[in-house]
């Protein structure tokens, strides 16, 4: 029986949602191991930075654990990235999955080790409502959509996704790289941008259009980012203050950069989401994204 290790690198964890997530994973035939800080609380954090790092590294070293899934986002992962033993992680590669605040860990682990990391669903955020749903869940359910996409990604299957908003057509290839826009920007000042060509994917939540504009501009002011970014793939920007302005901005971004820009992918804070393997080779042709 395979084992999922659940870590809490960011905000405090709701025990009821965690119990529901455990039930979901066990229903899928997995054993579950919880990090010792999983229910710790320190202000807005899931306990101390030291415990978070110790548990992360212990889970990578634990040969029984097949994949590591974050409990939730919030805030806290960026506090860890300069204290992690990346050599230890490189010697014990395994999938690590999360989104939102966990983007910081995913990008830094990829940069420092070359290990593919996975921008995908989290235990409490996505599977924490399992008890209130019928079992077995239908394939069309948001939880099952996210689970099926996650399993397909970590099994190294070919992934094909279609966007529905084409801001600038064209084709591009490179690695797929990105995540939550605000968290990507929070890494500025660190060595985090890939040295190779990449297709940048991004999503966010509760950010006004001017801040989305500002965050893209901050990244584009970095020569390594601008030179290596060959296309942009956009997920959801939920609860934005002015959808019309956002559409205008993305059109302007595509025109100014002269690279393919496509939106409408299920890269999102919503429950129904695709999993993106950060660092894998991909190809974009107009609105179709293929990850090998």
Return the pLDDT at 129: 84
What domains are there in the chain, each with its CATH number? 3-154 (3.40.50.10740), 159-291 (3.50.30.60)
Strand-pairing partners, residue 5, are 33, 68
Q: What percent of the chain has pLDDT over 70?
A: 100
The DSSP bridge partners found for residue 229 are 198
Q: What pLDDT was estimated at residue 66? A: 98
Residue 269, classed as helix, strand or coil, is coil
**Cβ neighbours for 5, distance < 8 A, ≥ 6 positions apart:** 32, 33, 34, 35, 59, 62, 65, 67, 68, 69
Q: What's the pLDDT tens digit per position in 197-253?
A: 999 999 999 999 999 999 999 999 999 999 999 999 999 999 999 999 999 999 999
The mean of the pLDDT values for the chain is 96
Joined together, the tokens standing for residue 45 give: 């954090």
User: Which band of pLDDT confidence, cut at 50, 70 and 90, is reported for residue 140?
Assistant: confident
The structure tokens 């040969």 sit at 63
Structure tokens at 52: 């978070």
Give pLDDT, residue 142: 87
Q: Give the pLDDT confidence score for residue 266 in this predicted structure.
A: 97
pLDDT of res. 161: 98
pLDDT tens by residue, 43-96:
999 999 999 999 999 999 999 999 999 999 999 999 999 999 999 999 999 999
Does the pTM surpass 0.75? The reply is: yes
Please report which confidence band the pLDDT of residue 130 belongs to, taking 50, 70 and 90 as the band edges: confident
The helix/strand/coil state of 137 is coil
Whole-number pLDDT of residue 19: 96
């Amino acid at each position: 029986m395979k084992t999922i290790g659940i870590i809490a690198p960011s905000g405090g964890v709701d025990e009821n949602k965690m119990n529901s997530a455990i039930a979901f994973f066990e229903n899928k035939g997995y054993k579950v191991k919880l990090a010792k800080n999983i229910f710790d609380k320190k202000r807005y954090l899931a306990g101390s930075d030291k415990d978070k790092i110790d548990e992360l590294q212990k889970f990578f070293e634990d040969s029984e654990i097949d994949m590591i899934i974050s409990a939730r986002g919030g805030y806290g992962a960026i506090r860890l990235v300069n204290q992690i033993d990346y050599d230890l992680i490189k010697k014990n590669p395994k999938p690590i999955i999360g989104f939102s605040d966990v983007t910081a860990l995913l990008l830094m682990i990829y940069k420092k080790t070359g290990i593919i990391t996975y921008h995908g669903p989290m235990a409490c955020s996505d599977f924490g409502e399992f008890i209130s749903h019928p079992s077995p869940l239908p394939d069309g359910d948001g939880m099952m959509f996210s689970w099926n996409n996650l399993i397909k990604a970590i099994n190294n299957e070919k992934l094909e996704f279609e966007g529905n908003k084409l801001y600038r057509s064209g084709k591009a290839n490179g690695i797929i790289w990105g995540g939550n826009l605000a968290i990507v920007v929070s890494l500025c000042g660190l060595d985090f941008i890939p040295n190779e060509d990449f297709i940048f994917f991004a999503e966010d939540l509760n950010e006004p259009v001017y801040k989305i504009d500002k965050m893209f501009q901050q990244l584009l002011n970095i020569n390594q980012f601008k030179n290596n970014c060959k296309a942009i793939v956009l997920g959801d920007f939920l609860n934005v203050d002015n959808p019309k302005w956002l559409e205008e901005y993305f059109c302007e971004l595509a025109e100014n950069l002269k690279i393919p820009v496509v939106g409408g992918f299920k890269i999102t804070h919503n429950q129904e989401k695709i999993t993106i393997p950060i660092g894998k080779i991909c190809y974009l042709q107009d609105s179709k994204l293929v990850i090998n």
